Each structure stands twice: as C-alpha cells, then as structure tokens.
Amino acid sequence: MNLDNFDAIDHRILEILQKEGRLSNQELADRVALSPAPCLRRVRALEKAGVIRQYAALLEPRKVGLGMMSFVTVKLEKKGKMPAEEFAKAVRGWPEVVGCYSMTGETDYFLQIYVEDLDHYTRFLMGRLLKQAGVVDEKSNIVLEAIKDTTALPLEQAAPGRRKRG
C-alpha cells in the first residue's frame, strides 16, 4: 500500500481496530460504511504494508499476578558497541521486561518492567539487571497509579492531508 493512497476510510479503519481489534469484518465494514469485501481488502492491504503490525489481547497485569510496574533507566559503560549488543541480547531474554528503548540524553536505555511485587523486583534488579556486564547505573521509578494507559496511536495527527510529503 502506497501511503499516498492512505485515505480517510483507512484512517477510520485503523482508529476502530486500535480500540476494538476483535470486530468482525462485517461489523467493521458497517462502521466505516463499506461493504465487507472492500473493507477486508483495505485491512489486508494495511497488514501487508506493515501499517497493522500485529493483533493481540491486552491483559490486565494485576489479574494475572503482575501487580507492580516500574520504569528503569540504564546507563552502560562507553567502551565500544559490545556492552550495548550484550545488553540488548540479555534484555530480550528477560520476561519481566515488556519494553526496552535505546535513548538519547543522559541514559542509554529505558525499560518497562512488570513483576509480582517488590521481592520479585529486587530479585530481578539484583540478580539480572545489575549483574549484566556493562551496566554502570540504573534508576528505578515504581508506578503508583496509571493515569493513562493506551496502546492506541494518536492518528488524528496523521490524518490524510496533514502528513508531510517527502
């Protein structure tokens, strides 16, 4: 799909699917005022183009025993690329880490972590993160309350006609 062909209907399809990914094609088609076949063609084109990268069930962390979330910044020693490559490889194997982002600024990485409780967090921090080669500093921020927690992207900023051409 060429993004020049991305129109208001595609935009609406994406807005709806971000919030209600389990809608049937018929329900989606009804909501965007298309018949089912053209609607499905558009969804498939968005998938093929990588605009829709995956579908998932979003779980309530506390209901599955993960009552503590934290955000952690990590600094690595600056001796070549090796610490960064080793760190990235290690992080991919840590199930507690649900998000890891390489950053600009004072820290090198920003991690989002879910654990059962403070004991689990302590075991993770002391037994994994701080033992990882190259880690020279970390700062933990434990979440007290989620004020806003969404997976939906702000598509109104990418509305047809508002995107930069280049």
Residue 127 pLDDT exceeds 70? yes
Residue 166 pLDDT exceeds 50? no
Its sign, for the CA torsion 12, 16, 22, 28, is negative
For the structural domain made of 3-57, what CATH number should be given? 1.10.10.10
Q: Spell out where the chain has E strands.
A: 68-76, 97-102, 109-115, 135-142
Q: What is the pTM of this model?
A: 0.84
Sorted by where each begins, the domain ranges of the chain are: 3-57, 61-142
DSSP letters for 14-41: HHHHHH-TT--HHHHHHHHT--HHHHHH
Least confident of 54-63, 77-86, 146-155: 77-86
pLDDT given at position 157? 77
Instruction: Tell me the CA distances in angstroms from 157 to 15, 19, 45, 49, one per residue in order.
Output: 12, 17, 21, 20
For the structural domain made of 61-142, what CATH number should be given? 3.30.70.920
